[in-house]
Amino acid sequence: MPNDHKPEIGSTIVIQKETFNAILSRLKEKGYETIGPRVKNDTLIYAPIEQMDDLPRGYITEQDAARFHLKHTGHSRYFDAIPGAQSWKQFLFPPRAELFALRKVNNLWEASTPETKTPSYAFIGVRACELAAIQIQDNIFMRSDFNDPIYRARRERVFILTVDCMYPAGTCFCVSMETGPRVKAGFDLNLTELEDVFLLTVGSEIARDLLKGIPFELASAFLLRNADQGLERAASQMGRKLDISNLPDLILNNLDHPHWQEVGARCLSCTNCTQVCPTCFCWDATDEMSLDGKETHRERVWDSCFNPGYSYQAGGNTRPTIRSRYRQWLSHKLGTWKQQNGTLGCVGCGRCITWCPAEIDLTKEIPMLQEEAR
Amino acid sequence: MDKNKPTVAVYKFSSCDGCQLSLLNMEDELLNLADAVDLAYFIEASRATKPGPYDIALVEGSVTTPHEVERIKEIRQEAKFLIALGTCATAGGVQALRNFADAGEYAKIVYDHPEYLNYLPTATPISEHVKVDLELWGCPVNKAQVIEVVVALLNNRKPNLPTYSVCLQCKRRGTICVLVDKGIPCLGPATIAGCGALCPASGRGCYGCFGPFRDANVPALTEALQKVERYPGETMRLYRGISGNAPLFVKAADAILSTGTDTRKETK
Amino acid sequence: MVTQQIARPAAINTEHLLEPQWAEVTSITKEINDVSTYWLKFTDPAIQKAYTFEPGQFNMLYMPGFGESAISICSDSNDHSKIGHSVRFVGNVTNAIGRLKVGDVIGLRGPFGTYWPMKELEGKDVFISCGGIGLPPLRPAIYHILHNREKYGKVTLLYGARTPADLMYTNEFDDWRKANIDVQVTVDRGDSSWTGRVGVVPMWFYQFRFDSRKTAVLTCGPEIMIHFVIYEALARRIPLESIFVSMERNMKCGQGSCGHCQLGPYFICKDGPVFRFDAIQPFFNVEEF
C-alpha cells in the first residue's frame, strides 16, 4: 500500500496494536499533549501518556456504590478499565483557573491576564458517555449568548480519540441514558479494541492526516461483526439501569415528595457527586487580595450546589438544608437541565454512584419517586 | 512605628506552639505583615513588647488551668478583636481528650508527682470563657487563611473562608477519594475545607483538624465509615481526635458508644 | 414564557472571563440610612456611548479584592450620560462600595437580564407594587412611563418600607404625581409624625380598583411580600400573564454560566430577573427550591 495513502472519513481500518505507538508519536509531533488513563497509586487517573505501555493494560475496575477497585487480571487489552473519579472535564474546565490580576496605580486599576499558552490536548480513550458529557458541556460553555473563553480555547484545540466500551462496570448505565456503549459522532478517531487488533474509525480530516503513511487495511466484515457483537454484549451487561421515559416530569411533579427528606438524611452534602460528574459545571470566582489592598488575583474555581454557602446571599440561604441541596442537584441533572439545554444532564457514567461515600444511587432514588408517586 | 498601623498581640495557652510556628513560617508574607501591622506582643518572635490595648489579639491554645481562666479574661479586656487561632483555641484541641476521661488518671500515668500540678479537669475552647470575634480552625492553622483574615481586617471586610467540605478541595487538586478507592476512613465529608486537603493528598484519611462544617451530616458519615473500619472502634476514635471536642464530633462519638454500634464491643 | 431578545451587553469583556470595564463615581446621593445611589460613568467614552439598558436590568459591580455584586440599575434609560445604582450596604462588596468617594473607580459588567415589558404594557393600566429596596429596579420603568405617559392607562405605585425613614426617592414623588401617577405609600411601623398608612403592601390592595382585563402588575421586593402581592393580584382576577416579578438570588456571573442563581430551569441572571409570573409559578411555592 502506498505510503501517503489516507483512509476516508467514516471508514474503519484495522491496525496492529503496536502501531498505535506511532499514532501517539504523530500526535506529539503535531504539538498535542497526549492524555489518557494511567495507573497511579493503585488507582486510575487521567494523565499524560507517552506510549502504549503507560496505558492500564491488563486492568479492569470493579465498581459499585461507594466502591472502586482497580484490579490487574493479566489480560492483554489496553482499554478495558472503565474510568475512575477523574473525567476530561478537568482539562477543558480546569478546577482552578487564574482569570486576571489587578494592581491599583494612581486610583485606577490596571489589569494583567496570565500569559499561559492554551494547551492542545489529545484525549486518548474517551468513552461514549464521556464524549456525550463533553458535548453537554459544550452547550453550557459555548452558547450563542455566552462564551467561556477558557473552555472554548481548549475545546477548539482538542483531539478526541474515543474508545468503544466492551466491558462496562457495575455502576454503568449509559444504555439507559442512550449515550453508549457505542460511540456515535463527535470524535476525531474512534478505537475499538479487539483481542489482537485495533479498529479505528476516522471521524475528521485531522485524523485522516494523522494516519497518513501509517500501514493499515480496511476492516473486514468479520472484524466489524466481531466489534458489533462485543458492543451488543457490553450493552447487555450494564451494571445499572434507569427508566427515563417519564423524566423530567416525574421529578418536576414531585418536588414536594417525602423521599427528598429521606435521601437528604443520608446525603453528606460533601460535594463528591458533583465534582466527579463530567457534566456538572458550577463555578465560583474568588479574589485574593494583597495586604495593602492594592493588588488582587481573581480566580475561577469549581463549586457545587452541595456547598452550604452556594446559595447564600445577604438576607439568607435559599437552600439551607441538605434535602433541598440534593433535590436541587437531582432535579437539575435529570429534570430542569432538559429545558435549559435540550438534553438531560446525566450520561450514565455512574461516577456519582461509585464515588458517593454514603452509597446514594440515583438509579435507586428515581424509582422511589416513581413508586410512591403512583 | 507608624501610629496608624493596627497593633497585633499573639498569646499562647495550652498548645504545642504549632500555630505560632505557622505564623513564623510565613517567611515572605511575614515581612509584608510586619509592614502592615505592628506586632506589638509576640513573645515567640521577639522579647520586645509594647503595652496594650491591642487592635487584634491572636490566641493560640485551649484553657486547661485555673490561671488560664483568669488570663484569657484579661486578654479579652485588652483586645478589640479577638481571634481564636487553631483547633486548641476553637475546640480544645487534642488535649481535650481528657474531657472524655479522668484527667487525674492521666496525670498519675505521666508524672511522678501529680500533686504538684494545678489543672482543670477539662480543656476548653476560648469561646467558653470570653467572647471570640473570629475562630480560625486548624491543627495547625493554614497560613493562607491567617493572611486572608488579616487582609480582611485591614480592609474592612469579612474574611472569605470556605463553607464546604474537604472533599471539594480534594477534587480541585485532583486527589482520588481515599475513602472509596482505598477504604481508608476519612472525616473529609464532614470536615470543613481549609487545609488544602493535605492528608488525603498523601494517601491518608482526613483527621478532621478543621472541625465539622455547619450542617455536616455526621450520622450518615458514621454509617459509611463503620463499613470500612480497619480495626474495631476506628470511627469512634477518629471522631475523638484533634477536633474531638467539637460539638458535632462529640455527639457522633457519643452516639457510637451509646447505641452500642461501637464495633470494639462486638469483638470483645 | 417570556421571550425577550437581549442584545449582547455593551460593557462586557468577551476575551477575559469576568474582567470588568471601569467606571468612575461621578456623584453619590444618600437616599436613606443604609442606601446610597452611586452615579457612574465609564472611563472609556466609547463604552459610555455604546452602553444602553432597559428598565429592570442590572449590572455586576466589582470591587477589586472584595468581589462582585449584582445591582439593579435605578436611573433613567434615556439618560446616556450616567448610570445610577442604589446600593444597600449589607455585605462585603456593598460595604466596600459604601466607602467609595467621588472620583474613585469601580468595575462594571453589564447590563444583564430581562426587563420590564414596557412595550407590551402600552395601552394598559400599570400597577407597580414594591417594597424596600424593590423600588430601585422599578424606577427606570416609572421614568419610561413619565416620558411616554400617553401610552399608558391608569398608573399606580404602591410602595412600602419598614419605617418612614426607609422610604426612598420621596423627593420625586410630587413629579410623579404631577404626571398623573397615583403614588401611594405605606410603612410597617410609623413614627410620631407619620400620618399615612401603616401596614404591609399587600394589605392595601383592597383600596384600589383593578380592571383585570387591562391591568398589569409589576412587583419587586422581599420574597414574602412578592408572594402576597401575587396572591392579592390573582384574587382580583389579574391573569398570570399580566403579573411581572423581579426575582433575586445569589448571582455570580450574570451570564447563566456559574449556576448559583438557578430557580428550576431558569438562571435568574439570564432568564430573569424579570419574569412573567406564569413562567415561575410551578416553582414559586416549592419550599427551599
Domain end, chosen from B98, B122, B154, is at B154
Instruction: Give C1's pLDDT tier (boundaries 50, 70, 90).
Output: very low
Domain end, chosen from A202, A236, A270, is at A236
Q: Which residue from C minimizes the CA distance to A254?
A: C286
In this structure, the answer to whether residues B125 and B212 fall within a common structural domain is: no
| Residue A361, in any domain of the structure | yes
Domain end, chosen from A182, A212, A236, is at A236
Q: Is B156 on the interface with C (CB under 8 A)?
A: yes
| Residue A368, in any domain of the structure | yes
Structure-model confidence comparison of residues B31 and A119, the more confident one = A119
The residues, any chain, with a CB within 8 Å of residue B111's CB and separated by 6 or more, are B117
- Residues C262, A336: C-beta atoms closer than 8 Å: yes
In this structure, the answer to whether residues A128 and A160 fall within a common structural domain is: yes
Q: Are A274 and A329 in contact (CB under 8 A)?
A: yes
- Residues A286, B213: C-beta atoms closer than 8 Å: no
CA distance A173 to A235: 9
Would the CA dihedral through B200, B205, B207, B212 be positive or negative? positive
Who among A90, A96, A308 is closest to B214 (CB)? A308
The pLDDT of B117-142, averaged and rounded, is: 96
In this structure, the answer to whether residues B107 and B213 fall within a common structural domain is: no
| CA angle, residues B19, B4, B36, in degrees to nearest 5 | 40
In this structure, the answer to whether residues A264 and A208 fall within a common structural domain is: no
Residues of A in contact with B217 (CB under 8 A): 265-269, 322
| CA angle, residues B40, B46, B51, in degrees to nearest 5 | 30
Which three three-digit cell numbers place residue B19? Answer: 500555630
CA distance C57 to C50: 16
| Residue A2, in any domain of the structure | no
Answer yes or no: is pLDDT of A372 > 70.
no
In this structure, the answer to whether residues A87 and A153 fall within a common structural domain is: yes
Answer yes or no: is pLDDT of B265 > 60.
no
Which residue out of A92, A99, A106, A109 would a mutagenesis test of the C interface target, given it has the greatest number of C Cβ atoms within 10 Å? A109
Per-residue pLDDT reduced to its tens digit, B96-112? 999 999 988 888 998 99
Which residue out of C63, C66, C100 would a mutagenesis test of the B interface target, given it has the greatest number of B Cβ atoms within 10 Å? C66
CA distances A28 to A13, A16, A48, A217, B209, Å, are: 22, 20, 11, 24, 44
Q: pTM higher than 0.90 for the full model? A: yes
CA distance B145 to B163: 13
Q: Are A354 and A68 in contact (CB under 8 A)?
A: yes
Who among C257, C262, C289 is closest to A140 (CB)? C257
Per-residue pLDDT reduced to its tens digit, B214-233? 999 999 999 999 999 999 99
- Residues B163, A312: C-beta atoms closer than 8 Å: yes
In the three-class reduction of DSSP (H, G, I as helix; E, B as strand; rest coil), residue C150 is classed as helix
CA distances B72 to B12, B38, B127, B131, C140, Å, are: 10, 21, 10, 10, 55
- How many structural domains comprise chain A? 2
Preceding peptide of B6 cis, ω within 30°? no
| Residue A52, in any domain of the structure | yes
Per-residue pLDDT reduced to its tens digit, B175-220? 999 999 999 999 999 999 999 999 999 999 999 999 999 999 999 9
* Superfamily of chain region C21-112: Translation factors (2.40.30.10)
In this structure, the answer to whether residues B222 and B105 fall within a common structural domain is: no
The pLDDT value recorded for residue B261 is 61
Domain coordinates in residue numbering, chain C? 21-112, 125-246
In this structure, the answer to whether residues B222 and B202 fall within a common structural domain is: yes
In this structure, the answer to whether residues A205 and A171 fall within a common structural domain is: yes
CA distance C120 to C118: 6
Which three three-digit cell numbers place residue B66? Answer: 485555673
- Report the gap between the CA of B145 and the closest CA in chain C (Å): 15
Backbone angles phi, psi at C204, to 5 degrees: -100, 0
CA distance C229 to A286: 37
In this structure, are strands C125-131 and C155-161 parallel, antiparallel, or unpaired? parallel
The pLDDT value recorded for residue A313 is 84
Who among C66, C264, C289 is closest to A287 (CB)? C66
Answer yes or no: is pLDDT of A28 > 60.
yes
In this structure, the answer to whether residues A152 and A27 fall within a common structural domain is: yes
Grid cell 461514549 in the structure block, residue: A128
The pLDDT value recorded for residue B26 is 84
In this structure, the answer to whether residues B35 and B147 fall within a common structural domain is: yes
- Residues B157, C95: C-beta atoms closer than 8 Å: yes
| Residue A244, in any domain of the structure | no
| Residue B248, in any domain of the structure | yes
| CA angle, residues B242, B244, B249, in degrees to nearest 5 | 130
CA distances B148 to B117, B143, B144, B160, Å, are: 39, 8, 6, 7
In this structure, the answer to whether residues A185 and A127 fall within a common structural domain is: yes
Fold of C125-246: Rossmann fold (3.40.50)
- Residues C99, B158: C-beta atoms closer than 8 Å: no
Q: Which residue from C minimizes the CA distance to B158?
A: C92
Q: Which helix (H) or strand (E) covers residue A198, if one does?
A: strand A197-202
Per-residue pLDDT reduced to its tens digit, A185-238? 999 999 999 999 999 999 999 999 999 988 889 999 999 999 999 999 999 999
Residues of B in contact with A290 (CB under 8 A): 32, 151
Q: Are B168 and B191 in contact (CB under 8 A)?
A: no
Q: Are C257 and C114 in contact (CB under 8 A)?
A: no
Q: What length is written for chain B?
A: 268
- Domain hosting B107: range is 7-154
Residues of chain C numbered 90-119 and touching chain A (CB < 8 Å): 90-91, 94, 103-105, 107
In this structure, the answer to whether residues A278 and A309 fall within a common structural domain is: yes
CA distance A173 to A239: 7
In this structure, the answer to whether residues B141 and B186 fall within a common structural domain is: no
The pLDDT of A132-142, averaged and rounded, is: 97
Q: How many cross-chain Cβ pairs, A to B, lie less than 8 Å apart?
A: 128
Q: Are C96 and C74 in contact (CB under 8 A)?
A: no
Q: Which residue from B minimizes the CA distance to C94?
A: B157
Who among A267, A288, A309 is closest to B163 (CB)? A309
Residues of chain B numbered 11-30 and touching chain C (CB < 8 Å): none
Q: Which residue from A minimizes the CA distance to C66?
A: A287
Answer yes or no: is pLDDT of C177 > 70.
yes
The pLDDT value recorded for residue A6 is 86
Answer yes or no: is pLDDT of B263 > 90.
no
In this structure, the answer to whether residues A261 and A323 fall within a common structural domain is: yes
Among candidate residues B1, B23, B4, B3, the one with its CA nearest the CA of residue B149: B23
In this structure, the answer to whether residues B106 and B198 fall within a common structural domain is: no
Q: Are B168 and A304 in contact (CB under 8 A)?
A: yes
In this structure, the answer to whether residues B208 and B94 fall within a common structural domain is: no
The pLDDT value recorded for residue C271 is 96
Type of residue numbered A123 = F
- Report the gap between the CA of A226 and the closest CA in chain B (Å): 34
Full DSSP string of A18-42: GGHHHHHHHHHHTT-EEEEEEEETT
Answer yes or no: is pLDDT of A3 > 60.
no
- Domain hosting A277: range is 249-373
The pLDDT value recorded for residue A55 is 98
- How many structural domains comprise chain B? 2
The pLDDT of A319-344, averaged and rounded, is: 96
In this structure, are strands B38-42 and B7-12 parallel, antiparallel, or unpaired? parallel
Answer yes or no: is pLDDT of A373 > 70.
no
Which three three-digit cell numbers place residue A364? Answer: 435507586
In this structure, the answer to whether residues B175 and B103 fall within a common structural domain is: no
The pLDDT value recorded for residue C6 is 73
Which residue out of B150, B155, B156, B157 would a mutagenesis test of the C interface target, given it has the greatest number of C Cβ atoms within 10 Å? B157
- Residues A302, B147: C-beta atoms closer than 8 Å: no
Q: Are B248 and B212 in contact (CB under 8 A)?
A: yes
The pLDDT value recorded for residue A131 is 98
Instruction: Find the range with the poorest average confidence among A222-231, B110-119, C263-272.
Output: B110-119
The pLDDT value recorded for residue A1 is 47
In the three-class reduction of DSSP (H, G, I as helix; E, B as strand; rest coil), residue C216 is classed as strand
Q: Tell me, what CATH number does B124's domain have? A: 3.40.50.700
Alpha-helical regions (H) of chain C:
45-50, 92-98, 139-147, 173-178, 223-235, 268-271, 277-284
Number of H helices, E strands in chain A: 14, 16
Among candidate residues B143, B147, B139, the one with its CA nearest the CA of residue B15: B139
In this structure, the answer to whether residues B113 and B135 fall within a common structural domain is: yes
Which three three-digit cell numbers place residue B145? Answer: 487563611
Instruction: Give B267's pLDDT tier (boundaries 50, 70, 90).
Output: very low
- Mean pLDDT, chain C, integer: 95
Q: Are C274 and C246 in contact (CB under 8 A)?
A: yes
The pLDDT value recorded for residue B106 is 87
| Residue B178, in any domain of the structure | yes
- Residues C288, A323: C-beta atoms closer than 8 Å: yes
| Residue B160, in any domain of the structure | no
- Report the gap between the CA of C91 and the closest CA in chain B (Å): 8
Per-residue pLDDT reduced to its tens digit, C35-62? 999 999 999 999 999 999 999 999 999 9
Residues of chain C numbered 23-52 and touching chain A (CB < 8 Å): 43
In the three-class reduction of DSSP (H, G, I as helix; E, B as strand; rest coil), residue A253 is classed as coil
Write the ipTM.
0.94
Domain end, chosen from B154, B182, B202, is at B154
Residues of C in contact with A312 (CB under 8 A): 250
In this structure, the answer to whether residues B146 and B75 fall within a common structural domain is: yes
Alpha-helical regions (H) of chain A:
20-29, 89-92, 128-141, 149-157, 174-177, 205-210, 221-236, 249-252, 259-266, 272-276, 322-331, 337-341, 351-354, 362-373
Residues of chain A numbered 238-267 and touching chain C (CB < 8 Å): 252, 255-256
Answer yes or no: is pLDDT of B18 > 50.
yes
CA distance C85 to C62: 13
Which residue out of A340, A341, A344 would a mutagenesis test of the C interface target, given it has the greatest number of C Cβ atoms within 10 Å? A340
Residues of A in contact with B167 (CB under 8 A): 270-272, 275
The pLDDT of A267-293, averaged and rounded, is: 96
- Mean pLDDT, chain A, integer: 95
For chain C, how big is the Rg over CA atoms in Å?
Answer: 18
Which three three-digit cell numbers place residue B255? Answer: 452516639
Instruction: Give B3's pLDDT tier (boundaries 50, 70, 90).
Output: low
Instruction: Give A254's pLDDT tier (boundaries 50, 70, 90).
Output: very high
